[in-house]
Amino acid sequence: MTTVPTSPAPAPVPAGGPRPLPPHREAQRVAALRGYGLLDRPGDPELDAVVRIAASLAGVPTATVNLIDAHRQCQLSAVGFRGAASDRLESLCARNLGDPDVVVVPDARADARYRDSAWVDGRLADVVFYASAPLVSPEGHHLGSLCVFDTVRHDLTGEQVQRLRDLAGVVVALLERHRRHREQAVLAAEVEEQRELAQLTLAELERREEFTLALLDSVDVAVVACDATGRLTVFNPTARRLHGLVHGPDGSSGAAHRLLAVDGTPLADGEVPLRRALAGEAVRGVEVLIAPRDGDPVRVVCTGRALHDAAGTVIGAVVAMQDVTADRAHVEALERAGEQLRRSNDELANLAAVASHDLAAPLTAVVGYLELLLDVHTTTLGPEGAQWAGTALRAAQRMQGLIEAVLEHARADSTGLVLQPVAVRDVLSHVVEDLGTAAAPSRITYAERGAGPGGAPAHVRADPVLLRQLLQNLVGNAVRYRDPARASHVEVAVRDLPTGGWELTVADNGRGIPAAQREQVFAMFAVAGTGGEGTGAQRRPGHGIGLATCQRIVERHGGRIAAEPTPGGGATLRATFPAVGQTGDRAGVQPGAGAVGGTTAPLRSA
């Protein structure tokens, strides 16, 4: 079958024929013709009988029903020859397409409209006599013609012409009947398809309903729904269990229940979560108590909303309820335990502070008298006695250091936390002064990098007292555990973090902390070895409280602290602090000379 364009251009017609249709009308005509579904199909017996009658009426051996497509002629039914499709340009019927009258041509060889056709000049046939009656649809579209022809000259009487027109009407009626049958078949197929689709949809809805019911029956969440009038339509098993019901949601076959606020006050009808959702209120995280008559109250968290149809009309509401009775009891138990733990910690901190203070005074006297004894009576004591007194003095001094460390740790827990902008360089300067001669052998530098351009200061907010205590411990450790094989360098750096907050690092080139001990050193009384990364690390001097105090100070600020190696050797202590409040407020804080973005300035050079 030849494919043709949807909007065909009309074929040329020889002079003297009907005027061709405009393109849009020709497209409509072709569409109407194809709507019959008869092109390239054999004619039925009734159509064949009409064609035979037409040939007999005209007294000729050949007749056919020609349908004129966009670019070809299709012979639907033929008598006296084998019908076939041919080029529309050669078609005799196409040359008078649109003529409302029966065309009678006694000798086509002598007619200018037809004599160059392949049906006349011998290329397809040797037609001499030709007559055709138009086939016009009820809508006025010329579909083709019922034609009779012969190879000899012939003519028709007026009666024959009229009967030939009548037979053309019969052909059109048969074509219309075929079209209606075809449309009915298409309609029946569509109806059947819709019926099958409806069955599939119904089956899918039934499956979904079964799934929904199974889901509602299995989930450990209470689901309650109502229609637009407030009548309950869904009350799944979990909801019935929480409400103390046995069968229906109306409670007719189960125990009565009450809905209460969390403080035990009965809920009014308008305060019930399902009623609130039906009224259009968004119900989120609403906690209520369900008090069955024969059971313990159940605490639930309700979430619900109104249900709307496609037009936006409220058709009901649904509320889901999660049983949080055990969770709330667990939280309350944790809160009670936490409060008890806070009280115990406070009591322990106070006890440590009081005990350390009460121990400090007599111990100071012991140290003083031992020093006096060694200064005044060394000769009297003799070498052995002096050695014993010296050992006692050193032990007492270690005890003093331990007591002072315990006091510092207690202060780190008990001191009030006051966050404010702090100039870290100024705090560090005071720390270096406090360290005095202990820091003299070390080169201590400070670097600060803010989030802004150039020399913008870092946005540091901290408790100044606790920050000083933190730096005192970190810098003190760095200078105390320096590597005797090289010049000591300690760098204190502060910078803004891209995600907010700030970071403090204290990096040294000292002995370092063995990798296996970098987490342990923050525990109380934990002391790292002095053997660097090797397995033969020996315990270094100290009480093991300083880094535990540092960790406590950082955690009180909401931050974290970690130990890591310094490239080239040494230890780096890195503390990160979250952003608190208006971190951009630097009012009243003047960075020192060392607070230069991206640069390092010395505070103390060895």
Residue 593: pLDDT over 60: no
CA distance 133 to 575: 104
Q: How far apart are CA 479 and CA 322, in angstroms?
A: 59
| Average pLDDT rounded to a whole number, residues 317-336 | 88
Closest listed residue to residue 473, CA positions, set 414, 522, 417, 400: 522
Q: What is the pLDDT of residue 13?
A: 43
CATH of 23-185, one of 3.30.450.40, 1.10.260.40, 1.10.240.10, 3.40.1280.10: 3.30.450.40
SS3 letters for 300-355?
Answer: EEEEEEEEECCCCCEEEEEEEEEECHHHHHHHHHHHHHHHHHHHHHHHHHHHHHHH
Q: How confident is the model at residue 408 (pLDDT cuts 50, 70, 90)?
A: low
pLDDT at 221 over 50: yes
What average pLDDT does range 448-477 have in this prediction? 82
Neighbour count for residue 74 (Cβ, 10 Å): 22
Answer whether residue 599 shows pLDDT above 70. Answer: no
* Per-domain boundaries in the chain: 23-185, 219-323, 329-414, 420-604
pLDDT at 2: 32
CATH number, domain 329-414, options 1.20.81, 1.10.390, 1.10.287, 2.30.29: 1.10.287
Contact 464, 422 (CB under 8 A): yes
**CB contact at 8 A, 431 and 446:** no
Pairing of strands 420-421, 298-308: unpaired
pLDDT surpasses 70 at 292: yes
Which pLDDT does position 15 carry in this prediction? 44
Please tell me the distance from the alpha carbon of residue 232 to that of residue 250, in angstroms, as a whole number: 8
**pLDDT-wise least confident of 144-153, 394-403, 587-596:** 587-596
Report residue 396 as tokens: 């007492």
Residue 488 has phi, psi (to 5 degrees) of -80, 135
**pLDDT for 124 beyond 60:** yes
* Gap between the Cα atoms of 386 and 369, Å rounded: 13
Q: Are 554 and 577 in contact (CB under 8 A)?
A: yes
Tokens of 311: 């037009």
Q: Is 70 helix (H, G, I), strand (E, B) or coil?
A: coil
User: What secondary structure does DSSP assign to 533-556, as a single string?
Assistant: TSTT--BPSS-S-HHHHHHHHHHH
Q: What pLDDT was estimated at residue 67?
A: 93
Reply yes or no on whether the pLDDT at 199 is more than 80: yes
Q: Is the dihedral of CA 200, 202, 203, 205 positive or negative?
A: positive
Task: Let me know the angle formed at the C-alpha of 292 by 287 and 297, rounded to the nearest 5 degrees.
Answer: 45
Would the pLDDT of 592 be above 80? Answer: no
Domain 219-323: CATH superfamily is: PAS domain (3.30.450.20)
Q: Select the more confidently predicted residue: 45 or 293.
A: 45
Query: What DSSP string runs through 449-474?
Result: E-SSSTTPPP--EE-HHHHHHHHHHH
Question: Residue 247: pLDDT above 60?
Answer: no
- The values of phi and psi at residue 382, to 5°, are 80, 170
Q: How far apart are CA 130 and CA 152, in angstroms?
A: 10
pLDDT, average across residues 381-406: 72
- What integer best gives the mean pLDDT of the chain? 81
What residue has token string 């204290």?
506
Pick 516 or 246 by higher pLDDT.
516
The reported pLDDT for the residue numbered 165 is 94
Protein fold of 420-604 = Heat Shock Protein 90 (3.30.565)
Least confident of 96-110, 458-472, 537-551: 537-551
pLDDT: is 207 or 491 the higher one? 491
Between CA 190 and CA 168 the distance in angstroms is 33
Q: What is the pLDDT of residue 414?
A: 59
Starting at the edge strand found earlier in the chain, the sheet holding 86-87 runs 86-87, 72-79, 62-68, 142-150, 129-136, 103-105
For 548, other C-beta atoms within 10 Å of its C-beta total: 20
| pLDDT interval class at 60 (50, 70, 90) | very high
Mean pLDDT of 115-142: 92
Higher per-residue pLDDT: 458 or 461: 461
The alpha carbon of residue 116 and the mean position of all alpha carbons in its chain are separated, in whole angstroms, by 74
pTM of the shown model: 0.40
Cα–Cα distance list, 180 to 136, 185, 186 (Å)? 16, 8, 10
**In 382-402, which positions are buried (b, 16+ CB within 10 angstroms) versus exposed (e)?**
eeeebeebeeebeebeebbeb
Of 168-177, 297-306, 370-379, the least confident: 370-379
- Fold matches, 23-185 and 219-323: yes
DSSP for 166-229, written as a single string: HHHHHHHHHHHHHHHHHHHHHHHHHHHHHHHHHHHHHHHHHHHHHHHHHHHHHSSSEEEEEETT
Give just the sign of the alpha carbon dihedral 318, 322, 323, 325: negative
Taking residues 518-546, report their average pLDDT.
63
Ranking 123-132, 457-466, 468-477, 487-496 by mean pLDDT, the lowest is 457-466
Give the residue among 303, 408, 416, 413 at the shortest CA–CA distance from 360: 408
pLDDT at 279: 92
The yes-or-no verdict on residue 534 having pLDDT over 60 is no
